[in-house]
Amino acid sequence: MKMTLIAGSNRKAATSTILLRYVESLLKAQSLSVTFVDLQELPLPFFTPDNQELHPNVQHLLDTVADADGLVLATPEYHGSVSGVLKNALDYISAGQVSGKSVLSVSSAGGPMGVSSLLHLQSIVRNLHGVNCPEWISIGYGSNSFGPDGAPLAGGMRGRIEGAVGNFVELTRMLAIGAAAAAK
Ligand SMILES: Cc1cc2nc3c(=O)[nH]c(=O)nc-3n(C[C@H](O)[C@H](O)[C@H](O)COP(=O)(O)O)c2cc1C
């Protein structure tokens, strides 16, 4: 199975991106194929419906999303919502690239939790006809520091992340099996 991970911050030391790298390590430990798209390293022009010619960075994003069985979207909590760079990236994506695929949403907040951004993210996923993972991951102050191995230091947080990632992988597997059976 192929997973595409999108880091939705353009801040160099973004905790949401460090968290997503940890999710990546858990997926790779299961020998899954992972493509990591970091929007800090892959800047995208502002989306416009008028733009007919796609920037190569946009094309790369769309190719990796279309190729994936499952997606993980990471965002910092900005004013109770997702970051502008992630929303901009998602505006390029259409339902045909996401429909029926599992999507795990993760966030990092300055407050205790980033639930508003996660709700907004899940609403966008629903509008792209993706299948929201029943679990999500939110880190906030007190839980957004990481050890040298990239794992969160907060007690219990690592287990919750591992549980959510495990459920996401299982959902992706079930949807992939269902899609393959329907295609026969
Ligand atoms: C423009 C802006 C808006 C923010 N709005 C919120 C907010 O509404 N709620 C919150 O808990 N934190 C808010 N924060 C703090 C960030 O969520 C927090 O610093 C988070 O850890 C950033 O993630 P990052 O490390 O991936 O950049 C905001 C930060 C910025 C820059």
For 109-146, the pLDDT digits (tens) are 999 888 999 999 999 999 999 999 999 999 998 777 88
What is the C-alpha R_g of the chain? 16
Domain ranges of the chain: 2-183
Ligand 1: which residue has its CA nearest to atom 3? 78
Residue nearest to atom 15 of ligand 1 (CA): 110
Pocket perturbation via mutation, ligand 1, pick of 79, 85, 121 by most ligand atoms within 8 A of CB:
79
Ligand 1 site, residue 143, Cβ cutoff 6 A: no
Low-confidence ranges of the chain (pLDDT < 50): none
Return the pLDDT at 112: 85
- For atom 30 of ligand 1, the residue with the nearest CA is 78
The DSSP annotation for the chain comes to: -EEEEEE----TT-HHHHHHHHHHHHHHHTT-EEEEEETTTS--PPP-TT--SPPHHHHHHHHHHHH-SEEEEEEE-BTTB--HHHHHHHHH--HHHHTT-EEEEEEE-SSS--HHHHHHHHHHHHHTT-EE-S--EEE-TTT--B-TTS-B-STTHHHHHHHHHHHHHHHHHHHHHHHHHHH-
Report which protein residue has its CA nearest ligand 1's atom 2. 78
Q: Is 10 in the pocket of ligand 1 (CB under 6 A)?
A: no
Is 64 close to ligand 1, i.e. is its CB under 6 Å away? Answer: no
Query: Is 80 touching ligand 1 by the criterion CB < 6 Å?
Result: yes
Write down the pLDDT at residue 42.
98
149-159 burial, b for 16+ CB within 10 Å, e for fewer? eebbeeeebee
Please tell me the CATH superfamily of domain 2-183, with its number: Flavodoxin domain (3.40.50.360)
Cβ–ligand 1 distance for 132 under 6 Å, the answer no
